[in-house]
Structure 1
Amino acid sequence: MKKILTLIITCFLSLSLVGCSNSKNNDDILTFFDALGNTLNLKSAQISGTLDMKDSKMNIDAQILQKEDLQVATSIGLVAGDHVKNNFLNFYIKDGKTYLNSMGTKTQSTVDKIGLKKNSKLNTYNPFLDLTDDQLCKLFDSSKKENDTYTFKVNTSKLATLLDNMGSVKLDHATLVATIKNEKISHMILSFTGTQTVDDANADIDVSIELSIKKLNKINFPNDLDNYKNETAED
């Protein structure tokens, strides 16, 4: 009886240890990076998100439509303590012109002033494009999949190098949660904590980036863009 009981306990403990150990599915990791590439190549999208830091928060809404002419509408809001600026900055591209509303100061110019041609398109940089499958899989220490949601434990040293190759950033913890639908990312949260050292001074890092991405068919621009002050005419 004691041998049977010992065997049962041993089996239970073994299963528990297996359940608690970090597991990694390389196919799931490659699925994420494929979806990331497909998402970065979208011709149109609305990206809504937040950047949460230790003492501040940034709200971002970016709409990009470039099936024909490039159209862009972005809105940035800031929260720092009790100070809230919902419309800290609004930026638009339409008909080869740029429009900037910075806390009520409205100006317009042309896209060539920001290095674009009138009929050019935006190309999103993919920093992982040149990495091999093996190198991509080493960016994550573990993975878990539940329906369309993928949860990854990010390799902290490799992420720290991506954030700062000077070695001033040291991360203690980093996780990535992504929802993938139709081979594209529809929702993603990247969170990491650690410290940054600059001139022998340490600063805590506590960052969470959350993004939601969906299709976009039309951008509704403000009605007063023509009234923005023309900076080009003054050049």
Structure 2
Amino acid sequence: MNIKHHPTDETLLAYASGTLSQAMELVIATHMTLCPQCREKVAEFEACGGAMLNGTDGLAMNVDALDQVMAMIEQEGANENTIPAPLASPRRVAVAPSMRGNAVPSLPTPLASLLPENILSLEDIPWRTLAPGVKHFPLKSVQTKGSVRLLKIAPGISIPDHGHGGHEMTLLLKGSYIDDVGRFCAGDVADLTDDTDHQPIADTAEDCICLIATDAPLKFNGILPKLLQPFIGM
């Protein structure tokens, strides 16, 4: 896979340090299954962080710290029948280049782990129409202040011109699109901040399928998209 667009070093460092949101972690973890360059860079960041921790003095603990931790564990066990277990973070899922089944190259493990078990490929996704030529599948189990979803754009269709109220990351899973930033193909990541406006257009004869995470609503520049925004949840 000829990946030309990668997450920024700042984003990869945030992933390595565990400070990204779960939605953004999902995009990075999924990208890393496809990109050995970013896997290596994150490993270097994590090694540097470990070396820095090894070089610091340990912190003193209260004499009753262990008793407090054990009490918390016992209390959590007593409540396990009423409190649902937290959703596993994508970074806890293996990011080595592996897929769900040898015949399913379109679902990297971090993404597959958060989809229903009956979805074995991109073709199995129960797409919902968002607009003419645009379908989506929200990943509602992922914790985020914004949104995270799979998006399918038909050939020749464009997403309305928009900016961003925060961080947006888009991972191409199939097909390609072109916008003001460049041309993005399968495996590429668009790592965009609030100073970027763009209008992606699917530019091949096949559907463009993306994994998109945002931490704030988009800022559409047209009147009609602004009016429809509360209904489409972007």
TM-score by length of 1: 0.20
TM-score by length of 2: 0.20
The structure in which a higher percent of residues are strand is 1
The structure in which a higher percent of residues are helix is 2
For the pair shown, which has the larger CA radius of gyration, 1 or 2? Answer: 1
